[in-house]
Amino acid sequence: MSTERITHLIGGAPWTGVSERTSKVYNPATGEVTGELDLASAATVDEAVKVAHEASKAWGRTSLTKRAQVLFAFRELLNERKGDIAALITAEHGKVLSDALGEVTRGLEVVEFACGIPHLLKGGFSENVSTNVDVYSIRQSLGAVAVISPFNFPAMVPLWFVPIAVACGNSVVIKPSEKDPSAVNAVAALWKEAGLPDGVMNVVHGDKEAVDRLLEHPDIKAVSFVGSTPIARYVYETGTANGKRVQALGGAKNHMVVLPDADLDLAADAAVNAGFGSAGERCMAISALIAVEPVADDLIAKIRERMSTLKTGDGTRGCDMGPLVTGAHRDKVVGYVEAGVEAGAELTVDGREGPFDGGEDGFWLAPTLFDKVTPEMSIYTDEIFGPVLSVVRVPSYDAALELVNSNPYGNGTAIFTNDGGAARRYQVEVEVGMVGVNVPIPVPMAYYSFGGWKNSLFGDTHAHGTEGVHFFTRGKVITSRWLDPSHGGLNLGFPTGD
Catalytic residues: 283
Write the CA distances from 48 to 92, 146, 208, 224, 242, integer angstroms: 25, 11, 16, 17, 19
CB 314 within 8 A of CB 322: yes
- Cβ neighbours, 10 Å, residue 41: 18
Closest listed residue to residue 325, CA positions, set 29, 9, 15, 32? 29
β-pair partners for 416: 258
Cβ atoms of residues 224 and 214 within 8 Å? no
User: How would you write 146-192 as a 3-class SS string?
Assistant: EEECCCCCCCHHHHHHHHHHHHCCCEEEEECCCCCCHHHHHHHHHHH
The C-alpha torsion from 483 through 488 and 494 to 497, rounded to 10°, is -40
Cα–Cα dist 256/156, whole Å: 24
- Cβ-Cβ contacts under 8 Å for 193 (sequence gap 6 or more): 73, 77
With CA atoms as reference, report the closest residue to 2 among 30, 36, 37, 39.
36
For residue 289, give the DSSP letter: E
DSSP 56: H
Phi, psi of 477 (to 5 degrees): -115, 130
Coil, strand or helix: which one is 208?
Answer: helix
CA atoms within 13 A of residue 150's CA, in its CB half-sphere: 20
Distance between CA atoms of residues 326 and 179, nearest Å: 8
Strand order in the sheet with 473-481: 125-130, 133-141, 473-481
- Closest by CA to 359, choosing from 311, 312, 314, 310, is 314
Contact yes or no for 54/23 (Cβ under 8 A) = no
Q: Is residue 93 within 8 Å of residue 325, measured between CB atoms?
A: yes
Q: What is the DSSP string of 105-155?
A: HHHHHHHHHHTTHHHHT---EEEEEETTEEEEEEEEE-SEEEEE--SS-TT
- 346: phi then psi, degrees, rounded to nearest 5: -90, 110
